[in-house]
């Protein structure tokens, strides 16, 4: 069994980007600048956004963190997005999800200039992805493709089961892995909360991408020998033995599934760090495209 070490691979990618940035600086070029908008103070979102900003600093990007209060109106957020759209100093930006209830997420995503949409969530970029045109690939699916590729996991002709149909992970993952591309060319099945005989389907899978948001849902009896397992889930589970009162759990029961798997991602240290690395890669791409 091989651990798909997202922490290590993401560090390799960040080093590659840092080298690129050094070359940009020596040529007197502008370095990439990422802005992140965080509305409210959700603990997990704050952790993710801070990790993204810190990663920028480490590799030599400029970064701006915009923190808005929980009660921010949709109008005020749209105004902030417009400012970022027209600010030539910003190459790309993200609005961390989820947003508070008073704000319409779709409206917000549609307000972002597609050329600065380094999360790849704007409908134009989702369409470009679906048509296999140049775009910003959403960072989590992009990170999974990169991880599979760097570990040379064969995907062509394999049965892939994507668990979950979210706009951020499950849906784009299923599209990308069915395309004729590196880490693609697979036969993809999407399963979700209404799927019947779910375990019968997962047992047929050569590769499983678990992104349903239910901790430790996929267990050893639901998979076949030598399965490749990608765990996208990350949930805080109460744990009195931990100093902070919780532990992080994935959508996969690592203990039982890892006994059968040929490759598996850990949580934490699997998909999460890859997401950040690919966001940085998209920001570099945005800088290069803006010329």
What residue ranges bind ligand GUN (CB under 6 A)? 94-97, 119, 139-140, 168, 275
Overall residue count recorded for the chain in this entry: 291
Q: How far is the CB of 190 from ligand GUN (least distance, A)?
A: 19
- 215 is annotated as contributing to ligand binding: no
Q: Which residue in the block uniquely carries the two structure tokens 């397992």?
A: 229
Which contiguous run of DSSP H or E holds residue 12?
helix 6-26
What is the spatial order of strands in the sheet that 33-39 belongs to?
62-68, 33-39, 92-95
Q: Is 152 a catalytic residue?
A: no
Q: Which residue in the block uniquely carries the two structure tokens 């609005």?
A: 95
Closer to ligand GUN by CB, 33 or 257: give it: 33
Q: How far is the CB of 28 from ligand GUN (least distance, A)?
A: 32
Strand ranges inside the chain, DSSP E: 2-3, 33-39, 62-68, 92-95, 159-163, 187-191, 207-210, 228-231, 235-238, 246-249, 263-264
Q: How far is the CB of 52 from ligand GUN (least distance, A)?
A: 9
Query: Considering all CA atoms of the chain, what is the largest pairwise distance in Å, rounded to the nearest integer?
Result: 59
Q: Is 96 a catalytic residue?
A: yes
Closer to ligand GUN by CB, 107 or 259: give it: 107
Closer to ligand GUN by CB, 144 or 257: give it: 144
Closer to ligand GUN by CB, 174 or 202: give it: 174
- 17 is annotated as contributing to ligand binding: no
Q: How far apart are the first and last CA of the chain?
A: 44
Question: Does 268 sit behind a cis peptide bond, omega within 30 degrees of 0 on the bond before it?
Answer: yes
Q: How far is the CB of 159 from ligand GUN (least distance, A)?
A: 27
Calpha distance 92→285 (Å, rounded)? 9
Choosing from 5, 91, 117, 119, the catalytic residue is 119
Tokens of 246: 């919780």
- 247 is annotated as contributing to ligand binding: no
Choosing from 14, 91, 96, 231, the catalytic residue is 96
Q: How far is the CB of 63 from ligand GUN (least distance, A)?
A: 14
Residue nearest to ligand GUN (CB): 97
Q: Is 119 a catalytic residue?
A: yes
Helix axes 6-26, 43-59, angle to 10 degrees: 50
Calpha distance 143→137 (Å, rounded)? 9
Closer to ligand GUN by CB, 213 or 220: give it: 213
- 166 is annotated as contributing to ligand binding: yes
* DSSP code of residue 117: B
The residues that are catalytic are 52, 96, 119
Q: Which residues does the annotation place in the binding site for NADP(+)? A: 164-166, 234
């Amino acid at each position: 069994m091989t651990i798909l070490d997202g922490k290590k691979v993401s560090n390799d990618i960040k080093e590659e980007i840092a080298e690129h940035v050094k070359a940009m600086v020596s040529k007197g070029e502008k370095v990439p600048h990422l802005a992140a908008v965080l509305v409210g103070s959700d603990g997990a979102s704050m952790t993710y956004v801070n990790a993204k900003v810190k990663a920028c600093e480490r590799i030599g990007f400029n970064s701006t963190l915009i923190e808005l209060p929980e009660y921010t109106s949709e109008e005020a957020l749209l105004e902030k997005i417009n400012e970022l759209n027209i600010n030539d100093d910003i190459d790309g930006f993200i609005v961390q999800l989820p947003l508070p209830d008073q704000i319409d997420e779709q409206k917000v995503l549609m307000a972002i200039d597609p050329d600065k949409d380094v999360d790849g969530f704007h409908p134009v970029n989702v369409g470009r992805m679906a048509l296999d045109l140049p775009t910003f690939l959403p960072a989590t699916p992009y990170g999974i493709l990169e991880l599979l590729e760097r570990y040379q996991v064969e995907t062509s002709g394999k049965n892939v089961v994507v668990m979950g149909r979210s706009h951020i992970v499950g849906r784009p993952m299923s599209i990308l892995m069915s395309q004729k591309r590196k880490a693609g060319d697979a036969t993809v099945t999407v399963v979700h909360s209404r799927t019947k005989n779910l375990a019968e389907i997962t047992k047929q899978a050569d590769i499983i991408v678990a992104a349903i948001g239910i901790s430790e849902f996929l267990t050893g009896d639901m998979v076949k020998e030598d399965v490749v397992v990608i765990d996208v889930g990350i949930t805080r589970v109460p744990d009195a033995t931990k100093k902070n009162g919780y532990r992080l759990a994935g959508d996969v029961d690592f203990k039982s599934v890892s006994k059968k798997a040929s490759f598996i991602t850990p949580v934490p240290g699997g998909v999460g760090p890859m997401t950040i690395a690919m966001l940085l890669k998209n920001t570099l791409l945005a800088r290069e495209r803006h010329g």
